[in-house]
Amino acid sequence: MGAGYLRFIPGPNLQRTTLYSWDAAVTRYYGEKLGITVDGRGYYGTAYVGLNSADITRPAISQYDVMAGPTYRFRLRPRYSLAARGMGGVAIGNFSGDTSGFSPSSLGLYSDGESYILSGALIGEANISPSLSLRLAGEDVVTGFGSLHNSFGFQYGFVYRFGKQ
């Protein structure tokens, strides 16, 4: 469980905006190093769309993601671990939730809908106890809203381990 931060482009000609997120993931490890992760997230932010005839300059936007993919621990020590993760899935974008009935495209935003999402992350975990650790993951996220573009950010939170430690 955790939270995150992402710099996202909400429209083809708009500047990057900051999205904050919640994150819930489960990883099943097959041995000490290789596991499969299933991840769900919700991102929320405010896009600056400039001055327009609708008098809407900062509409709220949101995005929900469901992804899965492999996680590989390449450094495993009693006090910490380092890992890499790659995931893919579906992203659902809500760009019209706060536009007062105006279409998102008339404000320069992407249209509501679904897109693919790909994510690559480097993960560091610091163990607090055998079953609890703190996690920080730097991440590159690629979505297909409008066109292919990269967003950079990070996820952080707590990790609880079930079963054999």
- In 47-112 the beta strands, taken as DSSP E runs, fall at 60-76, 80-94
Domains, the chain, ranges and CATH?
A: 2-160 (2.40.160.20)
How much is the pLDDT for 149? 78
101-132 in b/e form (b: 16+ CB < 10 A) is eeebeebbbbebeebebbbebebbbebeeeee
Tens digits of pLDDT across the chain (165 residues)? 999 999 999 988 888 999 999 999 999 999 989 999 999 999 999 988 887 766 778 888 999 999 999 999 999 898 999 999 999 999 999 988 877 777 888 888 898 999 999 999 999 999 999 899 999 999 999 999 877 778 999 999 999 988 765
**Angle, CA 106 vertex, CA 102 and CA 107 arms, to 5°:** 90
Residue 61, classified by CB atoms within 10 Å of its CB into exposed (0-12), middle (13-18) or buried (19+), is buried
How much is the pLDDT for 134? 97
**Nearest to residue 112, comparing CAs of 94, 136, 87, 139?**
94
**Nearest to residue 11, comparing CAs of 98, 80, 138, 107?**
107
